[in-house]
Amino acid sequence: MRVLGIDPGLRITGYGCIVHTPGRPEIIEAGVIRLVSPADTERRPVSDRLAELDTDLCALLDRVAPDVVAVEGLFAHYKHPATAIAMGHARGVILLAIRRRNLRLMELKPLEVKRSVTGHGQAKKDQMQAAIQTLFGLAAPPKPHDVADALAIALAAARRASSAHTPVSVPGGA
């Protein structure tokens, strides 16, 4: 099964496409869609970044042809409420692109992803990067952390989908 994991963001959206088979999973492609570069002196309008995300994501979906797309579920932290709003904008574009292609969608909460990959739902960014490095047999931890998060989302989704009693939503299905 080919699973694309997406870690949504309005500055950086991480992605990781894997093939999940018995034994060690294999990375097909992983990276980030950068919507704001460090050299940007002015902040681009959200609408411009969302249009760029849509274009880049559609190209990615066509290129990697996933069987399932897994997206991090929306969450809010009391110290950073605006993050949930920004992430919601990016998630909307991502979910629409998935729906337009009639791809299977899984949404996973960060706690579930962390628990699946590290065994601990409160794992920190560096722990996630180290776990992904080990699980995929990489020479170094994936950077930036958005890539490791996207690969973790893909792996957790693949593990959940391969379990006998977990439904995967299919657009237009019952």
When the pLDDT of each residue in the chain is averaged and rounded to a whole number, the result is 88
- Asked whether residue 116 is domain-assigned, the answer is yes
Active site residue 72: yes
Q: Tell me whether residue 92 is in a domain.
A: yes
| Active-site residue (options: 7, 62, 67, 126) | 7
pTM of the model: 0.88
* CATH number assigned to the domain comprising residue 74: 3.30.420.10
Q: Which domain holds residue 77?
A: 2-162
What's the structural domain count of the chain?
1
What pLDDT sits at residue 59? 98
Per annotation, catalytic residue among 48, 72, 107, 149: 72
Highest mean pLDDT among 79-83, 120-124, 144-148: 144-148
Q: What single string gives the DSSP state of each residue in 21-51?
A: -SSS-EEEEEEEEESS-TT-SSPPPHHHHHH
Check pLDDT > 60 for residue 33.
Answer: yes
Q: Which residue has the higher pLDDT, 164 or 123?
A: 123
Catalytic residue among 54, 56, 146, 149: 146
Residue 171 lies in a domain: no
CA-CA distance, 134 to 119, in Å (whole number)? 14
- Alpha-carbon distances of 169 from 34, 65, 138, 159, 161, rounded to whole Å: 28, 17, 31, 15, 11
Domain assignment present for 168: no
